[in-house]
Amino acid sequence: MLADTTPTADLLRPFQLERSHLRGRLVRLSDTVDYVLKAHDYPPAVSDLLGQLLVLAGALAGGLKFEGSFSLQIRGDGPVGLLVADCTNDGQMRGYASFDAERVAAVAHERPMALVGKGILALTVDQRAVGGEVVQGIVELGGETLADCMLNYFARSEQVRTGIRVAVGRDRLADRWHAGAIVMQALPVADPRLQPEAEEDWRRAMILLSTATDEELIDPALAPDDLLFRLFHEDGVRVFEPLALAPGCSCNEERVEAMLQSFPLDDLESMRQEDGSITVTCQFCSRIYHFDRDRLGELLSLRRH
């Protein structure tokens, strides 16, 4: 018998419960979430929120057919004004947060969504790179957790019965972040006579999903398939081909050059350092791009021509 070579982390695993025909996705992040969170010096509470958004973005992207990028974005009036997590159709992930450190420290021990306050949750599919369009759904934030906000979105906008479990944790001995999530959704019941059975199937699945502990969701030593079998073996869980997930950013020197060329001259002058150079830091991956005085002159010369 061949050994199972399925990775235990940084993957999206779609699955279905044969007995009830409920569908779901399990996402486990290790290298990806650790890279994204360590690329920035975020307070622990902000890192936890962004980690949750990343793993949810991976789980939700797995339920869509698209070529391009899927983005989850939260904008609020709280200490954390912006959270963004992106996932491409080939599994490249990135994310960042914008926040006021002093205000974060003041409310860090309150309920998680106190960091965000009142605001909106936006889900965006961007397929412009392949000649498609941008499709976006927006809903007001509601609930005590990010999972609550996502459930609120599906109840209001998609009207799809959805269940979510999400966890983020940091192994302090190894100084390493881990994240995991399971998202389950019910298919519409065409025959009204089958509705009572479907209701019972959903109730049972949600009870089983609620028994998944944070430790099980993020434990890299517990294979995702073993966790799914542990939770749903009585319902005949069937898994599908996994998608590998990895940290990735679309920034490059050419894009930064194009951005600088688009700025008015006055704005460029205000960005210059004492030696006449400009330094640009990617807000997603923290990569630094440095343009000295001579290189800037070349860019501006190209713009004039």
As a three-state string, the secondary structure of the chain is CCCCCCCCCCEEEEEEECCCCEEEEEEEECHHHHHHHHCCCCCHHHHHHHHHHHHHHHHHHCCCCCCCEEEEEEEECCCEEEEEEEEECCCEEEEEEEECHHHHHHHCCCCHHHHCCCEEEEEEEECHHHCCCEEEEEEECCCCCHHHHHHHHHHHHHCCCEEEEEEEEEECCCCEEEEEEEEEECCCCCCHHHHHHHHHHHHHHHHHHHCCCHHHHHCCCCCHHHHHHHHHHHHCEEECCCEECEECCCCCHHHHHHHHHHCCHHHHHHHCCCCCCEEEECCCCCCEEEECHHHHHHHHHHHHC
Q: What is the pLDDT of residue 303?
A: 61
Q: What is the pLDDT of residue 291?
A: 82
Q: What is the pLDDT of residue 2?
A: 38
pLDDT, tens digit only, all 305 positions of the chain? 334 567 788 999 999 999 887 999 999 999 999 999 998 889 999 999 999 999 999 999 998 899 999 999 999 999 999 999 999 999 999 999 999 999 999 987 888 889 999 999 999 999 998 899 999 999 999 888 999 999 999 988 778 899 999 999 999 898 999 999 999 999 877 777 878 888 999 999 999 999 999 999 999 899 999 999 999 999 999 999 999 999 988 777 888 888 887 777 777 778 888 888 888 878 777 788 888 888 877 776 766 54
Q: What is the pLDDT of residue 204?
A: 95
Q: What is the pLDDT of residue 302?
A: 62
Q: What is the pLDDT of residue 108?
A: 77
Q: What is the pLDDT of residue 258?
A: 80
Domains of the chain in start order, with CATH, are 11-247 (3.55.30.10), 253-304 (3.90.1280.10)
